[in-house]
Amino acid sequence: MSVLPLTDETPASRGLSDALRAGEPIYLLPKDDVANGVISPALSSCNSADVMIGFFASQSLAEIAPGLATYLRSTQAPLRLIVSPYLTAADQLALAAGTMPSESLASAKIIDSLPDADALSRHTLSCLAWLVAQGRLQMQIALMRDALFHPKVWLFRDGDDVAALHGSANMTGAGLGKNREQLSLSRSWMSDDGARTCARLSEEFEMLWRGGDNDCVIVDLPKALEEQLLRDYKSERLPDEDDCRRLWRKAHGLPEESVAELAASDSREPLRFAIPEWLEYRVGEYAHQGEAVDAWRATGWRGVLEMCTGSGKTLTAMIGAHQLHAEVGPLLIVVAAPYKVLVQQWCGEIGLFGLKAVDLTAEAGAKGRERVIANARRRLRLGLSPSEALVVSNDTLCTHEFAAQIAKHDGPKLLIADECHNLGAAGFMANPPTFFDYRLGLSATPVRQYDDVGTAALFDFFGDPCFSFLLEQAIGRCLTPYDYHVHFVPLSADEMADWRDLSEQIAKLAWKIQAGIKDDRLNNLFLKRRRVLETARSKLDKLGELLDEENARALRYTLIYATDKDPAQLDQVNAALNERRILFHQLTAEESGDKVRTQRILSRFQSGDLQVLTAKRVLDEGVNVPQIERAFILASTTVRRQWVQRRGRLLRTCKAIGKTHAVIHDLVALPPEAYEGGTLDSEAKKIVNSELDRAWEFARLSRNGAATGGPFAKVEELRALLKG
């Protein structure tokens, strides 16, 4: 890189907010020059700077030389670094030189004055030693108990203004100049989210700088050198858990572990794979779980369990995994789930069986997953674990690198696929992981509606459904009864006009359906037409009426489903709750992407602190919130799977709140002619027909079905409209 050396007369830079005013929210390296575009301007204009980084190398000083030189001349504050113990041999020698006693410095080959940008760029090792010797660069070493110290955060401060650069790039020459990396820029003065991000990262740095916590001990550089806690960094092999554990023990004055001791320290507690004593799966309300496991065993440990939502599919699968383990020995268990919130839920359920599940969605990319999987294979190979459980998203399950790492294990391997119907898609079936010896699919609705080919491929891989436990069998046994109220609301004239216009466009392309031709435009038209029904304006009016009939102060454990086809509806629902001063929180994909945030929301709801959850599709599959006892459904697709899942979600039992039954309010949009006594044309009848199946499905198992004015009568109204 070419740099212009700074002189003593170089003027001070503008303030931090001015220097970063034009900064982008995200930088993709090496296409974006983050060193000259963000780091150097920020260093040139800030009063203090802190860095916590996974890997540090002195070459990085050359990349940020202009800004660092200005920083050193314009402020007396040190550049504070918290880094992992893995440094190159050359950097270790330079750091050691910088920590020499003052009487030894005269003989050391380091520079004798404040370096300028040119010196920083050309003589990085000497400059590094000088900066440490003069206290201008203060470094502490982070030692994790059995993992890597892996953050990548730069913090710049100018008075009350704080900027945080954070992402995947290490403080190395390659990290800032060559590697494919990503960094995000948060600025405290730009937004509330930016301020919170900067505050959270600053708090983390200060906590670590003061000594760390139970999982991360911080050691001053001189002590780390004296006690030989630094290790040579070799880019061809990343440190693993064993490397980290050995350094952790050394920093605490503990002896090296013997192989016999590894079993206890590897997971902090000895693991014992066992079925919880409280789990009754042979008798009582959940006897179907034992029957399901028996059926799976009878088919050679391959097959699909068709079990309704709320019947305990997760526990059933783990009971089956334990019985398989008893038969074949140490087992590598891979659980795949479609959503991150389900992955997190599985980790908790697996823990009930004595295993420490590993959430692979929390690992840093393919390299992070590779390290974790390698450690799981090692523990099984050395007999340090009864079984290993890895929980992964469907997206990762389908990747070549993940499959290659799992295939390396030469012992028995089990795949448990939650909501396995999702894996009937072409992406998975094009190259299924046939190396799994044992396979278990879980779904309330394993048959893929409108996709016979995908269904056949799914059953070919997992095996046919070997056990079925449907809603009608579960209600009154392990699921609570429910009342169903269907409310008809009219489409407006312009909404009906939109429906007819979209129907005409669909009719012109309908031949492609018969010919088996996939057409994105046609699919988009179907989505738009369905959106007309799901977002009907009169649904919001009816919801308001129903809420007003409730005691707003007593309202609890309530869920409102909005469409996922138009974000405006959820905003309108939230506004309606705000107007009535009903305490609520939305739970969408945005919230569920943050484990801590999701748990905080659900805990408040489960305690009754939050009265209502508003949601789109995020609660459709697998999320366990048994307290829900009332739901308002503003939007539901024509996909039968969604009906089954949503109903099962509401019918989970919850003795803690005295739940005796659930209540479902279903808002159904109908053509305006249905309210005006007119004759329905063919398009209007299509609307009625599209809603009839769902209304009947919900009505047929409800406990108020035959009541006067109840859902059976409402269904007959719909049937009469079709005959008219």
3-state secondary structure 95-163: HHHHCCCHHHHHHCCCCCCCCCHHHHHHCHHHHHHHHHHCCCEEEEEEEECCCCCCCEEEEEEECCEEE
Pick the more confident residue, 441 or 262: 441
Gap between the Cα atoms of 10 and 119, Å rounded:
16
- Here the tokens at position 509 are 């392309």
- d(CA 138, CA 161) in angstroms, rounded, equals 22
In this prediction, residues 57-78 reach a mean pLDDT of 88
Q: What is d(CA 155, CA 165) in angstroms, rounded to the nearest whole number?
A: 7
Beta-carbon count within 10 A of 35 CB:
23
**658 neighbors 534 (Cβ within 8 angstroms):** no
Give 709: exposed, middle or buried? Use CB within 10 Å, 0-12, 13-18, 19+.
exposed
Confidence of residue 270 (pLDDT cuts 50, 70, 90): low
Amino acid 699 reads A
pTM over 0.85: no
Contact between 480 and 471 under an 8 Å Cβ cutoff? The reply is: no
Give, in degrees to the nearest 5, the angle at Cα 278 between 272 and 279.
85
More confident residue, 389 or 684: 389
What is the Cα–Cα distance from 627 to 654, expressed in whole angstroms? 6
Identify the pLDDT of residue 481.
95
Check pLDDT > 90 for residue 536.
Answer: yes
Q: Tokens 């199946």, residue?
A: 693
**Structural contact between residues 253 and 219, judged by C-beta atoms closer than 8 angstroms:** no
In DSSP notation, 702-718 reads -TTTTSTTSHHHHHHHH
Q: Is 669 exposed, middle or buried (0-12, 13-18, 19+ CB in 10 A)?
A: buried
- Residue 680's pLDDT is 79
pLDDT reported for residue 326 = 95
The 3-class SS string of 281-333 reads: CCCHHHHHHHHHHHHHHHCCCEEEEEECCCCCHHHHHHHHHHHHHHHHCCEEE
pLDDT above 70 as % of the chain: 88
pLDDT tens-digit readout, 350-375: 999 999 899 998 887 788 888 889 88
Orientation angle between helical segments 493-509 and 682-700, nearest 10 degrees: 100
Sorting pLDDT into bands at 50, 70 and 90, what band is 517? confident
Q: Does residue 169 register a pLDDT over 50?
A: yes
Question: Among 38-52, 320-334, 418-432, where is mean pLDDT lowest?
Answer: 418-432
More confident residue, 612 or 514: 612
Instruction: Check residue 3 and give its pLDDT.
Output: 36
Question: Residue 2 pLDDT more than 50?
Answer: no
In three-state secondary structure terms, 524 is helix
Whether the Cβ atoms of residue 122 and residue 115 lie closer than 8 Å to each other: no
Pairing outcome for strands 584-587 and 558-561: unpaired
Q: Does residue 169 come out as left (phi exceeding 0), alpha (psi in the -120 to 50 range) or beta?
A: beta
pLDDT band at 704 (very low <50, low <70, confident <90, very high): very high
Task: Taking residues 480-489, report their average pLDDT.
Answer: 94
Q: Please tell me the predicted confidence (pLDDT) of residue 503.
A: 87
Per-residue model confidence (pLDDT) at position 289? 96
CA nearest neighbour of 618 among 583, 596, 642, 644: 642
Q: How far apart are the first and last CA of the chain?
A: 80
Is pLDDT above 70 for 263? no
Lowest-confidence segment of 177-186, 436-445, 595-604 by average pLDDT: 595-604
Cis peptide before 255 (omega within 30 of 0): no
- Sign of torsion, CA 500 504 506 507? positive
Residue 492 Rama label (left phi>0; alpha psi -120 to 50; beta): beta
Pairing of strands 612-615, 662-670: unpaired
Asked if pLDDT for residue 235 goes beyond 60, the answer is: no
- Nearest-angstrom CA–CA distance, 724 and 715: 15
Count CA atoms closer than 13 A to 155's CA, side-chain side: 28
Helix or strand (DSSP H, E) at 184: strand 181-187
- pLDDT band for 495, please (50, 70, 90 cuts): very high
Residue entry with tokens 């959270």 = 200
How far apart CA 147 and CA 159 sit, in angstroms, is 35
Interhelix angle 537-549/567-579, nearest 10 degrees? 30
Which residue would you say has higher pLDDT here, 10 or 699? 699
What residues have CB less than 8 Å from 405, skipping those under 6 apart? 369, 370, 373, 374
SS3 86: strand
Residue with tokens 């992981």: 433
